[in-house]
Structure 1
């Protein structure tokens, strides 16, 4: 299939940046913490996904307000599109996978993670039951339709890497953007994709209906190391280096809220989490399944917010294996993240 070019995305973002509103202005249609305070807008690559739980949870717990922030959270089905909007100046930050900071540096764009929220991707590759006799591992993916959130997304990165690692040319697969939740479930149930990479609560929903089986699981450190070769820091808050440099006070307040949220997660159960979240966050899978999913994968959350020391090199290795925007490029990983705000929060 034709791959959406990160070069094209970056170029489009730069054009849009010239006419975008000031990044400190919040866009309509988002979820705001309300009240007076420093305004900041964050676009999240799937607010109801458990891998992005800290963003909404911080709001529900009142931690943004405690820091004197008026935060608007906007939902976007894929991190690649959220990244483009941020570079264009439409939002201040992105709740997405850390690996986008590496991919964009390969294109000359400086982004950095300011707090690490997940130490593993929390991703699961599901396949529909009708192909159970055909697909036993990624080595069987040739010629099959593979669901990802969107072309150029982190699930696209991981899918291509897993294909290549298992001897399959990514170009011989058909990667289809199906986002997550209801759209991904529909694509699986109607046979539009044979396998798809997704997270909770979508995983539990498909397994509960008996429509899919687990091909591989990266919700644990062991499962991640088996598939990717080491730690793979995933969810983070990342921003342009320019924004971080110009607004260190706002960044520090955000990180304070997220470090406190990550600590809250460690001290509470799935039932506690579900009680805080909007009911529609677990409407598809049901509250019991949502609670069970959280309790089973609680270990994905970073208890400190510090970037895992050996993680960035694994992310880089994955991207260098297939991504032309990164392969052969000189990437300075020290510029793709900073721990100084987390250390100050502690």
Structure 2
């Protein structure tokens, strides 16, 4: 009887150890509770699908992280949240790191993961246009994004590139109100992200005419950014965050349509599976999500050229050393075992 009791005790102990090991595995090998990361996204868009996949599929939890997400509605607000300490990590335009660096304040920001390398907006028209040319915008009104934002600057640089003049771009309508303003009769064209763009088209209120991402080409539109101090003090959190998002992007490339729609649906209530998948495929087809999410020197040069061209950065204010505001060391460790 004593032996049976001893064996039972050993079996119970083994079971408890197995449960503990399993729990560690779910937390990426990290012991203890999940670490909460205060996260701010610039807007809600399928443009950032890999991030939502990482949340819904549990990739962040696998890495030991709990992501507490809010939507800032602007890169300026997302950057301000980092400086104020109300966010640990923000998904914003990397130009914010340049602006903060040039202010020479107590805090600097660094981009550590390049989520997208194309603009994510699409140009829609009120009237059907069979053969759109950029010159069709001359004398027309476009509902666009706030001054200094990445989509606004990409559109303006595109107009400069095409030599299109006389375009009235409205930039004082808040992004959540853009689609409603167009639906109510304002503007001849509108610049929107997915899934709002496809929703407006499906409702018969607009017609698709062009992808700014395809037309403009490679552009580092949105990066994960944190303060230099946070990155220095929490390198394990940053690495875990990068790992999780990279898993999300990889999963998107192989998952079935049903699984993709199921993963993204909680973040886009009221949007049909059909529109979710159409939006994902539209971004996939234009090469939005890089296989290796690194902000390269070439992309950084393109970014600064666009900022100068749009008058938000003086030529003398260019950041000479990209490493001052970019740290891709965590991306370089992807796929490598410790």
TM normalised by structure 1 equals 0.76
Structure 2 spans left out of the alignment, 5+ residues? 1-31
* Structure 2 match to 1:36: 33
Partners of 1:239 and 1:128 lie apart in 2 by: 40
Partners of 1:142 and 1:240 lie apart in 2 by: 43
Q: How does 1:1-346 map to 2 (within 5 A)?
A: 36-47=33-44, 49-108=45-104, 110-129=108-127, 136-137=133-134, 140=137, 144-148=141-145, 150-167=146-163, 173-180=169-176, 183-220=177-214, 223-225=215-217, 231-279=218-266, 281=268, 283-284=270-271, 286-298=272-284, 299-332=287-320, 333-346=322-335
CA-CA distance at 1:203 after TM superposition: 1.6
Report if aligned partners of 2:142, 2:168 keep a CA contact under 8 Å in 1. no
SS of corresponding position for 1:129: coil
SS of corresponding position for 1:328: helix
CA offset digits 1:219-261 (Å, max 9, x no partner): 44xx332xxxxx2122221112222122212111111111222
The alpha-carbon distance between structure 1 residues 326 and 245, as it changes in their structure 2 partners (threshold 3 A), is farther
How many residue pairs get aligned? The number is 298
The alpha-carbon distance between structure 1 residues 161 and 327, as it changes in their structure 2 partners (threshold 3 A), is farther
Q: Identify, as 1 or 2, the structure richer in helix.
A: 2
Q: Which has the larger radius of gyration?
A: 2
* Structure 1 match to 2:8: none
CA offset digits 1:175-206 (Å, max 9, x no partner): 233314xx322111112333332211112112
Partners of 1:262 and 1:337 lie apart in 2 by: 21
CA-CA distance at 1:39 after TM superposition: 2.1
Partners of 1:169 and 1:326 lie apart in 2 by: 23
Report if aligned partners of 1:103, 1:326 keep a CA contact under 8 Å in 2. no
Partners of 1:101 and 1:72 lie apart in 2 by: 22
Partners of 2:189 and 2:99 lie apart in 1 by: 25
Partners of 2:139 and 2:224 lie apart in 1 by: 35
CA-CA distance at 1:88 after TM superposition: 1.9
CA-CA distance at 1:77 after TM superposition: 2.1
Partners of 1:330 and 1:70 lie apart in 2 by: 36
Structure 1 spans left out of the alignment, 5+ residues? 1-34, 226-230
SS of corresponding position for 1:41: strand
CA-CA distance at 1:307 after TM superposition: 2.5
The alpha-carbon distance between structure 1 residues 306 and 163, as it changes in their structure 2 partners (threshold 3 A), is same
TM normalised by structure 2 equals 0.78
Report if aligned partners of 2:140, 2:188 keep a CA contact under 8 Å in 1. no
SS of corresponding position for 1:198: strand
